[in-house]
Chain A
Amino acid sequence: MPPVHDILTFMKLKDIIACVDGQLICGESHLEDEIARGFASDLMSDVLTILEDDILLITGLSNNQAIRTAEMSDIKNILLVRNKKPSQNMIDMAQELNISLSYTSYSLFKASALLFQKGLKPVY
């Protein structure tokens, strides 16, 4: 049997949003996406060093750069924390690039902790 930390639990985006009492802003087609890992950072420079694809980006950085960074890193789902609602420009960009945007009023720490508790794994 592999060690416990090697077992990946996938969470559907809709369950991720429910877990943090969040709301989907755009990207309904992603609600059934199965996500294994999350990365929480406000620093896009750090996000760009992640090699894994299809992770959940949890961030308080609510600007176009968050969307651009997700695009370059093949990240399809972004969860904004600290009640940071995106601008219309950000939403338009996310829709064009087929990236889902959700938000929660929880802090980066709380949202990450709740998701970790539910089985979402860190990248490292």
Chain B
Amino acid sequence: MHQEYTVPAQDFSVAGVASSNFKRLLKQLNLPPKVIKRIIVAVFEAEVNVIAHSYGGRIVCELGEDTITVEVIDTGPGIPNLDLAMKEGWSTATEEILELGYGAGMGLPNIKKNCDRLSIRTKAGEHTHITMGFDLKEEP
């Protein structure tokens, strides 16, 4: 199954709408709640990142029998220093983002924690392409 969601830039009134719709879909598939939570927390963090830091983008989900792959592709401006961005507590969030309760520099580290596979392709001045892989079998 293939599902896509559009994520606008800077519009926090819709932050979480895509993740919420995706969560509803995952619930309909009767996946274990713990697996759904891992996937949704990671996707939501990525969605908030797109709204907060990019020019907008989309979330592309491929649902297989044993795995789910979620790609988050924005239109720029890229992450200048990915090593720094992966560090807990490192943030480039604006005042507005902080007031909304985000921007603690936990987004990418938390994405990494919640998915089974993660690849990030980015470059300053270009777009960011995050691919998250999730195994659907619940850990014992």
Contact = CB atoms under 8 A, between A and B. Distances in A.
Interface in B78-119: 100-107, 110, 113
Interface residues of A, number: 21
Contacts of B101: 42-45, 59, 61, 63, 65-66, 69
How many of chain B's residues touch chain A, expressed as a range? 20 to 34
Contacts of A69: 16, 44, 101
B106 A65 contact: no
Contact of B44 (A59, A64, A72): A72
B82 to A, nearest CB: 19
Contacts of A48: 41, 44-45, 106, 110
Interface string B21-41: 001000000000100010011
A63 B33 CA distance: 26
B33 A72 contact: no
A71 B13 contact: no
Nearest to B99: A63
Nearest to A52: B37
